[in-house]
Amino acid sequence: MVQELAKKSMNLKGRSFLTLKDYTPEEIDYLLELAKDLKTKKKQGVTGNSLKGKNIALIFEKPSTRTRCAFTVGCVDEGGHPEYLGKDDIQLGHKESVEDTARVLGRMFDGIEFRGFKQETVEKLAKYSGVPVWNGLTDLDHPTQILADFLTLKEQFGSLKGLKLVYVGDGRNNMANSLMIGSAKMGIHFTVLSPKELWTDQELILECQEYNKVSGGSITVTDTVDEAKEADAVYTDVWCSMGEEALAGERIALLKPYQVNAELMKKIGKENTVFLHCLPAVKGYEVTEEVFEAHAEVIFDEAENRMHTIKAVMVATLGNL
């Protein structure tokens, strides 16, 4: 297994991981298989040294529990050194341009993770640093989260192709965007259940429909709750993303009818439907305590899988298998 994965990984060495748009279905599946293998080893108490001698910069404009811990533990597990750089630790985009910061960090570090606001920033880091750069979250995209979600779905259902995944909530946010991209790449039937005011950008929908022509997946964008019927998985996120706190009242009013609750789960009509959440969850808003706790084991599998999938990305693009 390890030898087969090592051969495939040659195609990813030196690559950045900015969005799943840049990766083929085969490459995404490889990362999921590698994550599965690394997870099995971790459970057995086996860690590696594929990142031995590698120094990795972890840039955080936005705080995080899962992303920071996953990159830190994943890096240490594989023998690397992670260095946390908060928004007050470096001059990124303030006294020093993103381009110049990238060129400095690229000479000192072997890889860079970025979690912040603008997709443009992570793209500039990748362009100017000369080392692999990994997107830990931007306002537009959250690709490492999707890998964790998909590993969780594979653990639950065995495969991804043909699954029906329903995202409930703000259809314009980074999670809706990223799930749509990943689903289209992997042949998942993806539904955005959202008020019309918060529907996904049409340009992204058209782009993902092109991916569906190859994968056999589909996209539905609707404000009709009945479209959730027969879903294999239901997914939601907070109603107000980081940086949008001023819009909380408006969002609550719009999204209250789209809460994931017992009534919605009953409408789905399938006994084995799972509920997923990227966390943190604001229980009582986007999801009820009842539904969250009923699916807590899967949700925290999903959270744990951030570490295994992020480790896989670092190993595949920077490490030595």
Q: Describe the strand order of the beta sheet including 55-60 as a list of residue ranges.
A: 81-86, 55-60, 111-115, 133-137
94 annotated active-site: no
Residue 307 assigned as binding residue: no
Active-site option among 77, 145, 208, 308: 145
Residue 142 assigned as binding residue: yes
**Helix (H), strand (E) at residue 250:** helix 248-255
145 annotated active-site: yes
Residue 172 assigned as binding residue: no
Residue 173 assigned as binding residue: no
Active-site option among 15, 68, 142, 251: 142
Query: Which amino acid type is present at position 215?
Result: S
Residue 288 assigned as binding residue: no
Query: Which amino acid type is present at position 174?
Result: N
Residue 295 assigned as binding residue: no
259 annotated active-site: no
251 annotated active-site: no
**Strands 55-60 and 81-86, sheet pairing:** parallel
Residue 11 assigned as binding residue: no
Residue 268, SS3 per DSSP: helix
Active-site option among 237, 277, 295, 308: 237
277 annotated active-site: no
Distance of CA 185 to the CA centre of its chain: 14
Residue 143 assigned as binding residue: yes
**Helix (H), strand (E) at residue 113:** strand 111-115
- Overall size of the chain counted in residues: 321
Residue 115 assigned as binding residue: yes
Active-site option among 119, 278, 295, 308: 278
d(C-alpha 69, C-alpha 77), whole Å: 12
100 annotated active-site: no
Annotated binding site for carbamoyl phosphate: 64-67, 91, 115, 142-145, 278-279, 306
Binding residues: 64-67, 91, 115, 142-145, 174, 237, 241-242, 278-279, 306
Binding site, annotated residues for L-ornithine: 174, 237, 241-242
Catalytic positions, please? 115, 142, 145, 237, 278, 306
